[in-house]
């Protein structure tokens, strides 16, 4: 009897957690806390009635449902405050459901009614996102789709986030993205319950925000020579080339973006990256620099300006730092931060602090005098001095300071929040020292990294595959969770020239990060997760959002044999893939040799072509791997 009861309990838990029972599968991303799948289906009627309170807080959720449920179906929709026969009922709890917190929800789908409950309007919005994911993927279509049964499985879902900070950083400084493109990015974020857009607004390549009283920041700092290719390796711009690439957001643009995001329950945090990464600002106002030659500087167009051969911090070839010994810098920062604080309601202002080179400071008489005056013994303390002063300015505006983890090296106040990007360890260190921490490590969350082999991705200095991103755990064991605000993925755009490529680099790794910051710890299951990812690939196709199919690309391992032949081993990130290949320069399909064991490359072959299949159909990209590249990897 005890064994029977135990079996029944285990069965119920399994059904609640993963909903893999018969019938229509449930493929929500991020994975909800609890799903209990019932019998039967709810069918969307041709006349849809949405019942909700007529309050400003619910307007946008109702509008979202109206749009998403009507575009693809062609069905009529009305919203009312009361109905005897509603289709979808949105309800704010009269008494708080403690389980749900501020952002959670309960979603009940019966054969005749969808009922959504939450403590706060944001919970209803997130429930609406989950509800849309219960319908067939054709619900994502921007045009009407006929001959579809618009059904959702009967289910009871209870859901709430693990962490309060669920962010994506979008670098609009290296390459400029229009206001409408940023809105497009926000819409995609909201689908997966992200609630924080970190806008990287300034860098060496551009200053992207209007500051009244400092017009040259956008007249000069927002424009550079337009180059295409591998960013970072461009030749320096010549005097006669037009400086016509770039752009900036007016303060009205910023207000519009903030409102647009807030309507989707997304906050925007601005980043003004200082004291390094400041070439665009210095080009506009050279007296912010310690270096007299700054009068000849201009925003970077993609030429090399740093020497990383000696590791971090880099050696600057030109001085891209604000001068910490110059009082004009602090007046400048006060002017900028006054307007930033007035525009952005979010509690934090991010002031960068990363990768600030010190070689120009080391040779500057003003900086040397500052160190003597302030009793500094280490050049790293200079950045600590700068950070302390700008933090006081931030706090005087009623805001809090956040910075990249390098600021820990120069010493920072207890109130400084740290964004840990150089791996998890700096976040752990900061949390142990009772700083508020956002985890955004390169190890799991850098979306500019290659998603597949260098032969098929824009070349950058590291790779990050989907299955590695899925391993991200923002709250490490042994760390007091009260100091971990949340987690974030970062999209740097040196090699990203347009919004379609920004989408390609964000998704599907953005799914993995969304699940890491939302779903309960200890519930990860890679095969189950990827089955949901494939469902969302179909949704994104219909929604016209670009994503990377890199997860289907083979993984190469090249070694040399004892007799100095090239040995090639292939593997895949996901199971159930077959790899077909050729060495004869032709394009393989499923009638070609299938990879089963390690291969020895033919002596005279100069390239290998490969493609992956799933269930007898091509699913991966046709890749061409030069044999010369494999020989380099094998050290042949």
Q: In degrees rounded to 5, what are phi and psi of residue 416?
A: -70, 125
Beta-ladder partners of 307: 315
Among 428, 268, 432, smallest CA distance to 340 is for 268
Count the neighbouring beta carbons within 10 Å of the beta carbon of residue 405: 23
**Beta carbons within 8 Å of 33's beta carbon, 6+ residues apart:** 104, 158, 159, 160, 519, 520
Q: In degrees rounded to 5, what are phi and psi of residue 89?
A: -115, 120
CA–CA gap between residue 507 and residue 502 (Å, rounded): 9
CA–CA gap between residue 486 and residue 551 (Å, rounded): 26
> Residue for token digits 């390549």?
205
CA–CA gap between residue 475 and residue 478 (Å, rounded): 9
Which residue in 203, 319, 391, 406 is the catalytic one? 203
Max distance between CA atoms of the chain, in angstroms, equals: 87
Among 73, 158, 152, smallest CA distance to 111 is for 152
Query: Is 170 in a helix, a strand, or coil?
Result: strand
Q: Tell me whether residue 355 is one of the annotated catalytic residues.
A: yes
Quote the DSSP letter at residue 486.
E
Which residue in 200, 277, 350, 435 is the catalytic one? 277
Beta-ladder partners of 404: 419
Among 207, 200, 209, smallest CA distance to 252 is for 209
Q: Tell me whether residue 203 is one of the annotated catalytic residues.
A: yes
Beta-ladder partners of 382: none
Q: How is residue 10 written in tokens?
A: 């285990």
Q: How is residue 450 written in tokens?
A: 């290659």
Q: How is residue 506 written in tokens?
A: 């964000």
Among 92, 112, 183, 119, smallest CA distance to 154 is for 112
Q: Tell me whether residue 378 is one of the annotated catalytic residues.
A: no
Quote the DSSP letter at residue 234.
B
Positions annotated as catalytic residues are: 203, 277, 355
């Amino acid at each position: 009897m005890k064994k029977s009861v135990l079996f029944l309990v285990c069965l119920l838990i399994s059904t609640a957690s993963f909903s893999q029972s018969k019938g229509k599968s449930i493929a929500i991303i991020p994975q909800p806390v609890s799903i209990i799948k019932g019998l039967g289906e709810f069918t969307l009627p041709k006349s849809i009635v949405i019942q909700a309170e007529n309050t400003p807080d619910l307007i946008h959720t109702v509008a979202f449902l109206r749009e998403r449920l009507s575009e693809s179906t062609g069905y009529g929709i009305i919203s009312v405050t009361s109905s005897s026969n509603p289709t979808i009922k949105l309800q704010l709890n009269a008494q708080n459901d403690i389980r749900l917190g501020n952002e959670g929800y309960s979603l009940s789908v019966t054969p005749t009614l969808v009922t959504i409950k939450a403590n706060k309007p944001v919970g209803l919005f997130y429930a609406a996102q989950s509800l849309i994911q219960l319908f067939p993927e054709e619900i994502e279509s921007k045009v009407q789709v006929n001959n579809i049964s618009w059904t959702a499985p009967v289910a009871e879902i209870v859901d709430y986030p693990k962490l309060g900070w669920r962010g994506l950083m979008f670098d609009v400084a290296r390459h400029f993205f229009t206001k409408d493109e940023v809105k497009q990015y926000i819409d995609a974020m909201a689908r997966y319950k992200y609630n924080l857009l970190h806008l990287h607004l300034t860098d060496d390549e551009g200053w992207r925000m209007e500051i009244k009283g400092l017009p040259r920041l956008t007249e000069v700092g927002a424009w550079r020579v337009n180059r295409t290719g591998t960013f970072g390796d461009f030749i320096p711009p010549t005097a006669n080339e037009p400086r016509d690439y770039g752009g900036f957001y007016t303060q009205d643009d910023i207000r519009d973006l903030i409102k647009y995001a807030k309507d989707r329950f997304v906050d925007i945090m601005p980043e003004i990256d200082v004291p390094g990464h400041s070439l665009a600002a210095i080009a506009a106002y050279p007296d912010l620099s310690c270096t007299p030659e700054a009068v000849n500087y201009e925003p970077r167009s993609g030429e090399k300006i740093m020497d990383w051969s000696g590791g971090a911090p880099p050696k600057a070839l030109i001085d891209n730092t604000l001068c910490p010994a110059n009082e004009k810098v602090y007046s400048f920062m006060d002017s900028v931060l006054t307007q930033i604080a007035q525009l952005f309601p979010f509690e934090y202002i991010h002031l960068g602090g990363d990768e600030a080179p010190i070689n120009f400071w080391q040779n500057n008489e003003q900086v040397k005098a500052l160190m003597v005056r302030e009793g500094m013994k280490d050049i790293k303390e200079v950045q600590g001095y700068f950070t302390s002063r700008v933090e006081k300015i931030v706090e005087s505006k009623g805001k809090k300071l956040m910075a990249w983890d390098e600021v820990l090296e120069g010493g920072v106040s207890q109130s400084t929040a740290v964004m840990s990007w150089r791996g998890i360890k700096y976040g752990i260190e900061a949390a142990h020292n009772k700083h508020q921490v956002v985890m955004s490590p390169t190890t799991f969350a850098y979306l500019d990294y290659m998603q597949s082999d260098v032969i098929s991705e824009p070349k950058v200095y590291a790779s990050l595959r989907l299955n590695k991103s899925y391993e991200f755990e923002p709250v490490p064991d042994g760390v007091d969770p009260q100091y971990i605000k949340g987690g974030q993925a970062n999209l740097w755009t040196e090699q990203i020239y347009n919004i379609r490529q920004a989408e390609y680099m964000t998704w599907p790794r953005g799914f993995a990060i969304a699940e890491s910051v939302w779903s309960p710890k200890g519930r990860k299951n890679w095969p189950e997760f990827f089955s949901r990812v494939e469902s969302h690939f179909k949704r994104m196709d219909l929604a016209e959002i670009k994503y990377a199919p890199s997860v289907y690309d083979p993984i190469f391992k090249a070694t040399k044999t004892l007799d100095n032949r090239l040995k090639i081993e292939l593997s895949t990130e996901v199971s159930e893939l077959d790899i077909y290949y050729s060495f004869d320069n032709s394009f393989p399909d499923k009638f070609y040799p299938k990879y089963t064991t390690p291969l020895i490359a033919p002596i005279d072959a100069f390239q290998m072509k490969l493609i992956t299949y799933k269930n007898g159909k091509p699913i991966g990209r046709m890749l061409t791997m030069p044999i010369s590249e494999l020989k380099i990897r094998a050290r042949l």
